[in-house]
Every structure is written in structure tokens, then in C-alpha cells.
Amino acid sequence: MSVQFKINCGFARVAIRQFSEVGRGKNECDKTTLERNEKFQKLFPPSFGVNDSQFKKYGHRESPFDRNCKKANAIFSKWSNKEKKRQYIEFFSPHKWTSLSAATKRHHSMENCMQCAVVNTSIQETFPGI
């Protein structure tokens, strides 16, 4: 069963990539996953579509957010065009997010981000698999 990748805001994707620690041991991975989730929730407001249910684990299953993070990191790792990857990461960096106006931020959402789909189309289309 494949995981449907639902996070389509460029800012969310890049934040996931930058807040994730890849290639660590199990205990460190659990710790960094928790830290990544906390940083993500701190960066993006609830109006962005971030809510506690996305971070909740069900039994031994990963949370929906964790599954999407794995998918995002896999896509970034396999991205072969390094220059387009660098441009994408630079354009959607957490630093750039913090410099956006509150009005512009309100137009972005974690899933079904119309701001990225319509206004940032040219850079958003460089993300592999779109």
C-alpha cells in the first residue's frame, strides 16, 4: 500500500526536509522526529492546517504527518537535478516563510495549497512527481 503524499505547500515540504534528521539510530530518530514535529508546529499556525490529529500515532502505526515526512524526504533524496532542488529549497525556506506578511501566509495551507499551485506555479512544478 503506497502512502498518498498530501503535503503540497512548498514551505511545508522544505521545512520538513530541514527539520528532519536522516540516517540516525532508532532512539535518536525518535527524538529528532519529536523535535521536527515541534519545530513544524511552532513555525506554522493552526490556520495553516496543522492540528494535533496529524501528529497522533494509532497503536504502532506512524502518524499521518510522519508518513508524509518520510515521503517528502524520499523525494528530496532522489531529486536528481541539484540546481532545481537548491532553487526550490531556497525559494521555500523557513527563513523566507518568516519574512512573508501575515496576509500572504493566510493564503498558504499544508494540503491543497492554492497559493503554491497558482502563484508559485513555476517553482512548484520543479518538485519531482508533480
Q: Classify residue 57: in a domain, yes or no.
A: yes
Question: Cα separation of 118 and 108, whole Å?
Answer: 11
4 part of a folded domain: no
- On whether residue 2 sits in a domain, the answer given is no
User: Which residue range forms the structural domain that includes residue 53?
Assistant: 10-124
Residue 3 belongs to some domain of the structure: no
Measured between alpha carbons, how far apart are the two ends of the chain, in Å? 20
> Over the stretch 64-109, which tens digit does the pLDDT of each residue have?
788 888 888 889 989 999 999 999 999 999 999 999 999 999 999 9
Query: pTM (2 decimals)?
Result: 0.82
Number of domains in the chain: 1
Structural domain includes residue 80:
yes
Give a yes or no: residue 29 inside a domain.
Answer: yes
**Average pLDDT across the chain, whole number:** 82
129 occurs within a structural domain: no
Per the domain annotation, does 130 fall within a domain?
Answer: no
Sign of CA dihedral 104, 36, 53, 72: positive
